[in-house]
Amino acid sequence: MKMDPQTRARFKAWQRRKVLRLATIFIGIPVVLISVVAFGLRSRDDRDANGTEVNGTTAREENTDTDASIESEDTTNADEESDNESELTSATIRLQFAGDIFLHQGPMDAARTGERTYDFRPFFTHVKPFIDGDLAIANMEVPVDAHGSNHHLSSFPLFNSPFEILDGLQYAGFNHLISANNHSFDQGFDGLLNTINSFERAGIAHTGMNANWDDFNTPTLIDVNGIQVGILSYTDSVNGEEWRVPEASQAYAVRRFRSNTIDDLPRITDEMAELRDAGAELVIVALHWGAEYGNAPSDMQRVIARAIVDAGADIIMGKHSHTVHPVEWHYRDDGTRGFIMYSLGNFLADQTRLTSPSVHAQINDAWEHHQFIGRTQFGMLVSVEATLNDTGQIALETAHVLPTLCMRDFSGNTLGAANNVTILPLVNGEAPDFVTEEDIRLWGRTAYDHIANIVGSGFIGETVGIE
């Protein structure tokens, strides 16, 4: 996990202040004791045998001087408190979240521009105007250029995506990626290290994969318009590919947890507390979890997510199902609330050739062809506005869901041009005007209706605030 230079400086300053506070405590106690003893001896010398003051005037002058010193210290402290209060100004930021970036062979072929060169920017052209968050996060589901120079690229079941997908994501407006996923070990530990190197070469921050214990123990802290945002990322699976990573590296390569039990909650709570101690004012917890292709989380997932919010997380970013799950506000006992996205679905993927009826949505019973479209092509871009008030408290103000459809020709053929794959923003239930094919427009309306039914229409359209 990485920090930008400004935040790293703040973190180191926090560490110095912590050491200084401890030093002050241990040094200060003896100093106070010595001062008390010295004061008692002086007071005894200043009194005669009858216990009356012999240097009353001097004592009063000393008291006057002491009072003036105390008043001066009080004034100084008041000035410092005033300065500190002046630094606490309210701020509002816009956070955005998108689901899985999951490159299958069709989209990779569509983006190819040369023997080992690609251009994914056209995929994002139409959704780009909507990705305008101060912090915009997507889930990078798979390794990126894990062998260097776009060698040995691959799709299902062991993924390795072209480096240029990172250029495409930044072009779209994303500035942070989640990298701990069930495919993190697909290309072994060297592939994980090269993926981290790909992020660094592209200049995009990420949370999840770690090259060593130092990375694991370094908190992700991001200064977002003056608000310190902290991120933790966990995955409940690496698809049984642990054998590809040395045993000594498995403990730090990605953070693991179990999504079928509450037993890991204490550890997650402790790591959130450490993130707060490091300076995080708003905490995001990303969870790669649960079963694939369903429409809702398990009861245990709900228990875990709500417990993490109760323990202090502000936002839960769920993912992995490749289908859209509900979102919700969860209120703590003190009246504050967190926002939970159980699963964001796929943002960029091609799982249209899945044959199981359980992962398809019938477009229209009355349509003469009775065609189906994979719910795996439905996604959402979620925007959350957060405010840090002048008392230093975070409040989540609004949440808004923009349904999306990852459109391709849906024929099952290998695509030949990048503009045949595109992420469509579904505003007011409709595909953009440039889409003239009635079947695609019908798919767009079906995707919109399905997502609205899953997440609740109240989160779609206008932003929604406190109920």
Lowest mean pLDDT among 3-12, 82-91, 390-399, 442-451: 3-12
- Please report the pLDDT score of residue 367 as a whole number: 37
pLDDT greater than 60 at residue 467: no
- Of 236, 332, 321, 233, the C-alpha closest to 285 is 233
The residues that bridge with 316 in the sheet, in sequence order, are 285, 340
Q: Residue 259 pLDDT > 60, yes or no? A: yes
- Say what the pLDDT of residue 435 is: 84
Provide the pLDDT for residue 356: 66
pLDDT of residue 250: 97
What's this model's pTM, rounded to 2 decimal places?
A: 0.80
**Can you tell me the mean pLDDT for 267-291?**
97
Binning pLDDT at 50, 70 and 90, where does residue 443 land? confident
The pLDDT assigned to 462 comes to: 46
Question: Looking at residues 311-325, what average pLDDT do you find?
Answer: 97
* Alpha-carbon torsion, ordered 384, 348, 230, 132, to 10 deg: -50
- The mean pLDDT value for 152-156 works out to 94
Packed helices 164-172 and 188-202: angle between N→C axes, nearest 10 degrees: 40
Confidence tier at 158 by pLDDT (50, 70, 90): very high
Q: What is the pLDDT of residues 54-83, one digit of tens each?
A: 333 333 334 444 444 434 444 445 454 444
Highest mean pLDDT of the ranges 13-17, 181-185, 290-294, 389-393: 181-185
Is 90 exceeded by the pLDDT of residue 38? no
Span of 38-42, 85-89, 114-118, 263-267 with lowest mean pLDDT: 38-42
Give the model's confidence band at 50: pLDDT under 50 very low, under 70 low, under 90 confident, else very high: very low
At 306, is the secondary structure helix, strand, or coil? helix
Distances (CA, A) of 136 to 18, 214, 323: 32, 26, 20
Lowest-confidence range among 1-10, 42-51, 148-157?
A: 42-51
Comparison of pLDDT for 321 and 465, the residue scoring more:
321
Between 315 and 90, the higher pLDDT residue: 315
Task: Please tell me what DSSP assigns to residue 52.
Answer: -
Question: Best-predicted range by mean pLDDT among 30-39, 89-98, 325-334?
Answer: 325-334
Strand order in the sheet with 315-319: 220-224, 227-235, 282-288, 315-319, 337-341, 327-331
Q: Which amino acid is at 107?
A: P
In this predicted structure, the answer to whether residue 93 has a pLDDT above a threshold of 80 is: yes
Angle at CA of residue 180, ends 177 and 184, nearest 5°: 115
pLDDT recorded at residue 244: 98
Confidence of residue 461 (pLDDT cuts 50, 70, 90): low
- Higher pLDDT residue, 189 or 52? 189
If you ran DSSP here, which 8-state letter would residue 414 be given?
Answer: P
Which pLDDT band, with edges at 50, 70 and 90, does 365 fall under?
very low
pLDDT at residue 398 tops 60: yes
Q: pLDDT of 207-258, one tens digit each?
A: 999 999 999 999 999 999 999 999 999 999 999 999 999 999 999 999 999 9
Strands 378-388 and 91-101: antiparallel
Of the candidates 348, 373, 341, which has an alpha carbon nearest to the alpha carbon of residue 359? 373
Q: Which carries the bigger pLDDT value, residue 392 or residue 209?
A: 209
The structure tokens listed for 48 are 């005669």
Task: Kindly tell me if the per-residue pLDDT of 167 is higher than 50.
Answer: yes
Instruction: Identify the pLDDT of residue 374.
Output: 79
Predicted local distance difference test score (pLDDT) of residue 242: 97
Place of tokens 């780009």: 128
Q: What per-residue confidence (pLDDT) applies to 362?
A: 57
pLDDT at residue 87, rounded to an integer: 54
**420 pLDDT band (50/70/90 cuts)?**
confident
Over residues 179-206, the mean pLDDT reads: 98
Name the band, by pLDDT with cuts 50, 70 and 90, for residue 361. low
Q: Would you say residue 101 has pLDDT above 70?
A: yes
How far, in Å, CA of 338 to CA of 26, rounded? Answer: 39
Number of helices (H) and strands (E), helices first, in the chain?
10, 16
Structural class in CATH, domain 92-459: alpha beta
pLDDT mean across residues, the chain: 82
Q: What percent of the chain has pLDDT over 70?
A: 73
Q: Tell me, what's the pLDDT at 441?
A: 86
- Ramachandran area for residue 406 (φ above 0: left; ψ -120 to 50: alpha; else beta): beta
